[in-house]
Structure 1
């Protein structure tokens, strides 16, 4: 008999009145949810064939965690805070000694810049409590992915403008933009973790658990693209206009191909057109080959070593952008394929 969470037992259907089938539920489950006779229970018929029973009037749980600097290795508090954030924690209490106060506040500020929605609820001499103000089910995951894409595409456009002669101040905030993309990726991963734990959040987001995990993978691919865009911005600022690159030859003439392919793939998060996804991935594969050949040819002549290194690194970053965008397309194909699966009963 199922007496607690995680237990299983087999219960037999009973025919009542010749027309209605009934099934008893564990008494301990009824008491755990403070239910009484005639209370409503929501019955959800899952695609797998299973039935999910949920008390109609449920109170959502608040996830809490307490972190103590006495129990955490020195320098590891930020990692523990990020772990709590990604795990879906709603309230984080940090205990520390009064001597650590200023250091802890600095770490909390870094944590808040790297995440979304956490604010200080209570601040004492030897403890600080953080609470989330954003409900994971309020912001669609697709919206966060679009924000990541817009930040990424905006930085690439500004990098090209600076290379063409615009003022370098356009991209001097590249690190801040990268932090924004990182925080969006962390938020999507937090949502994916919460969706795995809570079907109610999944319903509010109108997303399946498998799809939430794949969206998290999409966010990770965009974040890796942002890393290489960030590197390109750093290289361009460091070069300070000394190296002139043509927009009509590799590597820069491959950027529009990458931009077009990524734009197509972003649209296909919604439209799920397998043919368009494959066309985009093939164009990226061709761009990768062109860039690889270009990088090999750079060192065949006599040119200034610093300029060659600059062009080689820019080309490599663009090639990596293409590679991660192909991965992005592969994830979309995985989503499309899973949605096309037809489930049938297995014959014994």
Structure 2
């Protein structure tokens, strides 16, 4: 770490000189203005370019080196989430229909992207969103609503033996994934772009938590898929109605816990978050009782119902994780914690 001596001029101003190599590297000249940000821990950060809202970051992939469709798709997703706003795929041969299909599948599953240029040997994808307009709460609200509705539909399909609804739950998983991707992407941009972070002001710390919340919700959404996939395996089987009713009851409790965990995130109530975590114990007991009954079923039915039961239990446990994030977040904040007497009244 380089140190600088503080000087006082004019009777009231304190001056610290900028390192010359850094100033030259940033293109700073005499009379230029720089930004100064005071952080909560008392440190100062200097922003060399006040007019630069969003760095242009480009990632170039060589299809001839990658050569695998699944790897190409995953690398596109990785570049998007990392924060690159311009992605180019190149090939010594002509850009094939195969490459275009991969690119379009990626664009369809992401938010705010478009192919802006195609040449015989390259294809360029660009972000159209304004990173300064981050809609964290809007996306989280949409994502939590999608996850809850898909869980409810997965349980309804189990009761009604509705194959079409079960398949619809599976198909809608892409909507949850694309919201998780954009939240992860904007989180990474927030870390890189201090100017944007500073404009968010007091909400900054909560915005950083949105990425953690979306990751957990994406996993809970995957359990809606697991319930539906295993439901399809037993649609034509004879299943004990008592066991199905027990699964539905446990599933309803898991959905309720999930919804309450989201409410706790917005209410800033540590007592609520703690009670939700404790309520997961009841869900686990129900799931353990179901597991014991599943063992006596036909092997095919038993395996599928076991996976459904596990998905319900994990939904509750991940919802408890959300509440733990709430408590961890609030510990670093100055909220007024309700007295337990008021909370129970």
Give TM-score, length-normalised by structure 1: 0.85
Aligned equivalent of 2:341: none
The CA deviation at 1:212 is: 4.8
Extract unaligned runs of 5+ from structure 1: 1-7, 342-348
Separation in structure 2 between the aligned mates of residue 51 and residue 205 of structure 1, nearest angstrom: 17
1:256 is the counterpart of 2:252: yes
Separation in structure 2 between the aligned mates of residue 148 and residue 244 of structure 1, nearest angstrom: 34
Question: Aligned pair in 2 of structure 1 residues 118, 207: CA closer, same or farther (>3 Å)?
Answer: farther
The CA deviation at 1:225 is: 0.9
* Equivalent position to 2:14, from 7, 21, 27: 21
Separation in structure 1 between the aligned mates of residue 301 and residue 35 of structure 2, nearest angstrom: 67
The CA deviation at 1:158 is: 1.9
How many residues are aligned here? Answer: 332
Where 2:87 maps in the other structure, the secondary structure is strand
Aligned equivalent of 1:152: 147
Separation in structure 2 between the aligned mates of residue 289 and residue 276 of structure 1, nearest angstrom: 21
Question: Aligned pair in 2 of structure 1 residues 258, 18: CA closer, same or farther (>3 Å)?
Answer: same
Question: Aligned pair in 2 of structure 1 residues 82, 47: CA closer, same or farther (>3 Å)?
Answer: same
The CA deviation at 1:255 is: 2.2
Please say which of residues 264-273 and 208-217 is displaced more in the overlay: 208-217
* Equivalent position to 2:133, from 131, 135, 138: 138
Separation in structure 1 between the aligned mates of residue 330 and residue 241 of structure 2, nearest angstrom: 39
* Equivalent position to 1:214, from 197, 200, 209: 209
* Equivalent position to 1:284, from 280, 283, 291: 280
* Equivalent position to 1:84, from 79, 89, 109: 79
Question: Aligned pair in 2 of structure 1 residues 58, 257: CA closer, same or farther (>3 Å)?
Answer: same
The CA deviation at 1:164 is: 3.6
Superposed CA offset, 1:220-270 (max 9, x none): 211111111111112223333643645995221122322222222112222
Extract unaligned runs of 5+ from structure 2: 336-345
The CA deviation at 1:182 is: 1.1
8 Å CA contact 2:183, 2:214 repeated in 1? yes
Give TM-score, length-normalised by structure 2: 0.86
Aligned equivalent of 1:324: 318
Of Structure 1 and Structure 2, which has the larger fraction of its residues in helix? Answer: 2
Separation in structure 1 between the aligned mates of residue 333 and residue 92 of structure 2, nearest angstrom: 52
Superposed CA offset, 1:129-180 (max 9, x none): 1100113332322322222211111112222333343854334322331111
8 Å CA contact 1:45, 1:52 repeated in 2? yes
* Equivalent position to 1:268, from 264, 273, 280: 264
The CA deviation at 1:279 is: 0.7
Measured on the aligned residues, the alpha-carbon RMSD in Å equals 2.7
Question: Aligned pair in 2 of structure 1 residues 273, 21: CA closer, same or farther (>3 Å)?
Answer: same
Question: Aligned pair in 2 of structure 1 residues 70, 225: CA closer, same or farther (>3 Å)?
Answer: same
Question: Aligned pair in 2 of structure 1 residues 309, 148: CA closer, same or farther (>3 Å)?
Answer: same
Separation in structure 2 between the aligned mates of residue 27 and residue 244 of structure 1, nearest angstrom: 78
Separation in structure 2 between the aligned mates of residue 20 and residue 207 of structure 1, nearest angstrom: 28
Which structure's relative contact order is higher, taking Cα pairs within 8 Å and 6+ residues apart? 2
